[in-house]
Amino acid sequence: MENFDNFDRSLEHHFNNMGEKLIPKQSQSLAYYVDISKSLQSLITFGVKLHKIEKTHPETLDMLTKLRVKEDLRPKLVFLHNELGIKPDQFADIITKCPQYLNPENEIYKTEEIVEYFTSKKFTKEQITDIVLRLPTILCYDVIKIDATLGFLQNFQVSTKQLRFQADQVREMVMRSPSLLTQSPSALHVNGQFLERSFGLRFDEIKRMITTYPRILLLNTEDLELKYMFMIRELDFNNDEVIKFSLIFNASLRVMEHRHGFLKSLGRAQYKTDQVGYLSPIEMFWCNEMEFMTKLGFHNRQPLDNYIKTL
């Protein structure tokens, strides 16, 4: 006869551990490990988007599952709060864009080096927090490379000459577009050559252009060429006016074509300062559609839509 005690013993283990969660050995997502690890749960309470990290930074997933709250997570977030003055509401954006910051191999002294470097170049504390909020990847970046790009910016090398910028100008350029810091000097040099050769600008004109719109060193050369040809042929610009209204390069070509065609159909497309009915291109192309229509005196977007439907 069988022993009923032995029959029950095999089920004891199952009933005692009924709440056990089965974890896969390999997976491409963090969803299976979130129920177990407290660090991932605390990241979710801050608002970090884990589904984005799976797509953009898949090499950091191993590290994120093995995080410990007290030894790894806490000191880095405390550093952000105390040294840089970032509020807990803003941690989420920083970690989704730079999860390597939480790597225990990237120790805190490397970010302290970066902050010291910026303070030595006379950036104020508020400016540094602004840079970190807008460009979080700089927390894991190498100080030597930042030094190289800033040095190249200050003595901007064009074909035969070095354009010297002052320290105040360089700081302003960095504050207006902090993503210049992660570019290599060769990429900036390519755009500078493009400005010289296909736009046909002189050296002092290139200097003026970079100070008015520093993001032009980041844009794609194909887009730049198309926009420049549009400005010269359709809007009737000289090189002087291209530099004066260089903020327009921020808008996409489609937006410029639609709005310029709409103004032409109304008969109000006048961009010369001497003439009657002058409209400044920056006010026309550097704003929303609703603002654009209210400036012209309309309450709806419908006149613009009706014009676009005739194209």
Partner 1 sequence: MSITAPQAYRSLKGLFAVYKLPNQSHTSLIDQVTTQILIGLNRLEQRPPKCMVAFKKLSNVTNEDFTWRVNQIVKDSTSSALISENNLSIPTNVVDWFDHPLVQGPRYTKEDLVWYTGHALDYEASGVQILGLQNDGEKMLGIVGKKKLGRTYEVKGRFGLATTTYTQEGKVLERTTWNHIKPQQINKALSLIQGAHRNALYRAAEMDLSSNEAYTAACKGTLKPRKFLGPLFLNIKLIEFSAPEFVIHITCLDESCQSLRALVANIGKRLYSGAVCTKVRRISDGIFSWDDEHTLLSHKLGGVERVIEATRDSYSRLLNDPRDFTSKRNRKRFPAADIPNKDRREKSPLLIAASENL
- Selected from 49, 110, 121, 215, the binder of partner 1 by CB under 8 A is 49
The CA distances from residue 307 to 8, 239, 260, in Å, are 80, 30, 11
- Give me the residues paired with residue 13 across strands: none
- Selected from 23, 35, 143, 172, the binder of partner 1 by CB under 8 A is 35
- Cα angle 189, 285, 204 (rounded to 5 degrees) comes to 35
44: contact with partner 1 by CB under 8 A: yes
Cβ atoms of 197 and 223 within 8 Å: the answer is no
- Give me the residues paired with residue 157 across strands: 162
The CA distances from residue 109 to 112, 115, 159, in Å, are 5, 10, 39
Of 44-52, 73-81, 167-175, 239-247, the segment contacting partner 1 by CB under 8 A is 44-52
**Could you tell me the end-to-end alpha-carbon distance of the chain, in angstroms, rounded to an integer?**
91
- Selected from 13, 27, 41, 184, the binder of partner 1 by CB under 8 A is 41
State the minimum distance, in angstroms, from the CB of residue 42 to partner 1: 11
**DSSP at 299:** S
Nearer to partner 1, 51 or 176 (CB): 51
19: contact with partner 1 by CB under 8 A: yes
Nearer to partner 1, 75 or 88 (CB): 88
Residue whose C-alpha is closest to residue 169's, from 126, 218, 212: 212
H-helix segments, 84-124 = 91-97, 108-120
Tokens coding 189: 């040099």
Nearer to partner 1, 278 or 298 (CB): 298
Tokens coding 93: 């954006």
- Selected from 5, 15, 28, 297, the binder of partner 1 by CB under 8 A is 15
18: contact with partner 1 by CB under 8 A: yes
Nearer to partner 1, 147 or 289 (CB): 289
- Selected from 25, 87, 254, 299, the binder of partner 1 by CB under 8 A is 254
State the minimum distance, in angstroms, from the CB of residue 159 to partner 1: 35
13: contact with partner 1 by CB under 8 A: no
Cβ atoms of 219 and 249 within 8 Å: the answer is yes
- Selected from 50, 114, 131, 180, the binder of partner 1 by CB under 8 A is 50
State the minimum distance, in angstroms, from the CB of residue 309 to partner 1: 5
Cβ atoms of 276 and 269 within 8 Å: the answer is no
What is d(CA 298, CA 7) in angstroms, rounded to the nearest whole number?
A: 83
State the minimum distance, in angstroms, from the CB of residue 44 to partner 1: 5
Residue whose C-alpha is closest to residue 80's, from 72, 91, 89, 70: 91
- Selected from 11, 22, 276, 311, the binder of partner 1 by CB under 8 A is 311
Interface positions, 51-110, toward partner 1 (CB under 8 A): 51-52
Nearer to partner 1, 37 or 182 (CB): 37
308: contact with partner 1 by CB under 8 A: yes
Tokens coding 307: 């014009």
State the minimum distance, in angstroms, from the CB of residue 46 to partner 1: 10
For 298-307, b/e burial (b = at least 16 CB within 10 A) is: eeeeeebeeb
- Selected from 30, 80, 248, 284, the binder of partner 1 by CB under 8 A is 30
Which residues of the shown chain bind partner 1 in the complex (CB under 8 A)?
15-16, 18-19, 30-32, 34-35, 40-41, 44, 47-52, 254, 305, 308-309, 311
